[in-house]
Homo-oligomer: A and B are copies of this chain.
């Protein structure tokens, strides 16, 4: 085989994106192909800031499988259309040419699929033979075509386990102290993670008692009535709220508050706002939590299914690339719910880019605050199984830090310019 393979990570990282990186490098090594990695995603590719992964030991590469975060750095940097951003696309091809990069694997979400698709087109237009394959990744689970996205299963498991555990705490304290617990989860546009919280319990009396989805406009009075009814019946109430919850006018609650008393500028977070609302209107003592990055980096409680997915798409991406399958992405295809069975299939990037997979209406209960049996059938296999990282004698997981040795530059300096 001739040429090098370039791998880059993009967008918000996950607990398992490095498992895909591990698969990419291990699979390419078996095929005798050298893997370069772009430092900080596409930014590194533009800057010709490349990492030579052949300098890493097999042990270090294997440890990527259980290490959260993005080992080569990721970025939030979106290339515009080929017309608007032609110079940057051409620069990428220059970098590919200078380093004999024949295969480019871009590990990210919607934007990355779009970028990958465009790069594959530009290569053709500029007469440079490059095979581009997307590698799916996003905790948001909103990529089209693939049944689920690597990264989601682990944040789903973290969320369900955390709701279960914290709710046992609240139940213990409710008689004389905290009666309402509000936990905020990620998901600005779709309620996938909020739905996963629903796995923590089953039935109206089990936590979470109220899930607030971005798909359902927030109704203050109905919400408060539901909280009160739950406290009256159960003695306490756990609320899970998606960061993306909006009011009837379509504005994020976290930005507008729910009423005058919250009219001042919020420091962020819809959980404290709802907790205060409950206190003001119902008088209950509250606690609230905002796990933020903890939820998407919690490799210690990753889903074994999710890790397997992440590894499989990385492995498949290399195989597809080396087979010359341009502008595709390995997707996870579910062939059975019970027993859970899945396989990997290549799908055209054009079917993935610029589409968004919404939470199906049939996944939200009729009350608007719970998940359905269909949601459970879909979600449960994704949080199944444990794959704990090895732990050191210091009580901490043994996460790897790569050497990330830079490849010597061959081109002139390049200013990325405005982002």
Contact = CB atoms under 8 A, between A and B. Distances in A.
Interface of A: 9, 12-13, 15, 39-41, 43, 67-71, 73-77, 157, 160-162, 164-166, 168-177, 181, 183, 199-200, 264, 266-269, 272-273, 275-276, 287-294, 296-301, 303, 380, 383-386, 388, 391, 393-397, 399, 419
Contacts of A290: 269, 288-290, 292
A111 B268 CA distance: 35
Contact of A396 (B71, B199, B273): B199
Contact of A168 (B67, B75, B288): B67
A395 B175 contact: no
Contacts of A297: 165-166, 168-169
B69 A294 contact: no
A1 to B, nearest CB: 30
B161 A397 contact: yes
Given A76-B176, A297-B169, A380 B399 contact: no
A74 B174 CA distance: 8
Given A288-B290, A290-B289, A13 B172 contact: yes
Contacts of A275: 267-268
User: Taking each of A68, A171, A174, A176, which has the highest tally of chain B beta carbons within 10 Å of its own beta carbon?
Assistant: A176
24 contacts: A9-B172, A13-B169, A13-B172, A39-B175, A40-B176, A43-B176, A70-B169, A71-B172, A74-B172, A160-B395, A160-B396, A165-B294, A166-B293, A168-B399, A181-B293, A199-B394, A267-B267, A267-B272, A267-B275, A268-B272, A269-B290, A289-B293, A291-B294, A385-B395
A80 to B, nearest CB: 15
Contacts of A264: 264
Contacts of A67: 168
Report copies per complex.
2
Nearest to A70: B172
A266 B275 CA distance: 12
A164 B293 contact: no
B176 A77 contact: yes
Contact of A383 (B199, B385, B395): B395
Would you list the 6 A-B pairs with minimal beta carbon distance, nearest first?
A: A69-B168, A70-B172, A383-B395, A289-B292, A267-B272, A40-B175
Contact of A166 (B9, B176, B267, B294): B294
Given A69-B168, A301-B300, A301-B301, A43 B175 contact: yes
Contacts of A9: 172
B288 A292 contact: yes
A157 B293 CA distance: 17
A69 B399 contact: no
A290 B288 CA distance: 8
Contacts of A12: 173
Contacts of A396: 160-161, 164, 199-200, 383
A380 B394 contact: yes
Contacts of A266: 267
Nearest to A175: B40
Contacts of A15: 165
A176 B39 CA distance: 12
A303 B384 contact: no
Contacts of A43: 175-176
B73 A169 contact: no
